[in-house]
Amino acid sequence: MQFSGPGDTVTFDDAIFGAANSDAATVINLTYPLPSLDIGNVTIDAQDRRVTINGSAAGGADCLTITSNGNVIMGLTIVGFAGSAIVIQNAENNVIGGSRYSGAGPTAKACASATTALMAFVSPAQSPQAIW
């Protein structure tokens, strides 16, 4: 994400994170937060992958801070962060959601798993945001 530009899509290798591969190494353990998403119109697409971001060793950090407009975050499982999973600050038109293949939601489908720890903190309140 650090080198992403407008219109880029971050995806996860099927050989490592494939949803059909029950032996897939799906946990990314962080000791610090992800880089801020400060360039707009970036998609992070994990909706058909088994991707868990674990922040139990990241201290009091938030996982991801979004400070730009028009980003899409789909399918990530975020666990173990003492702070928020996703923080949206001074940004609009961001979409945070689950997999389009399971659950229920608008165009793509929301996270259906009870083990998915995806939450969003919006400060200050900006609109519109789509969180499903």
Tens-place pLDDT, residues 68-95: 999 999 888 888 888 888 888 888 888 8
Q: Tell me the residue type at 78.
A: I
Residue with tokens 């490592």: 16
pLDDT score at 40: 92
Per-residue pLDDT band for 118 (boundaries 50, 70, 90) equals very low
Give residue 123's pLDDT band: very low, low, confident or very high (50, 70, 90).
low
Angstrom distance (rounded) from CA 112 to CA 103: 5
Q: Give me the mean pLDDT over the 111-123 stretch.
A: 41
Residue 96 predicted with pLDDT over 70: yes
**Contact between residue 77 and residue 55 where contact means Cβ atoms under 8 Å apart:** no
Q: What is the DSSP letter of 32?
A: S
Residues 36 and 66: beta-carbon distance below 8 Å: yes
Give the mean pLDDT of the chain: 76
- Write down the pTM of the prediction: 0.75
Tell me, what's the pLDDT at 111?
36
Whether the bond into 35 is cis, omega within 30 of 0: no
111 Cα distance to chain centroid: 11
Nearest to 47, CA basis, from 94, 5, 101: 101
Of residues 61 and 122, which shows the higher confidence score?
Answer: 61
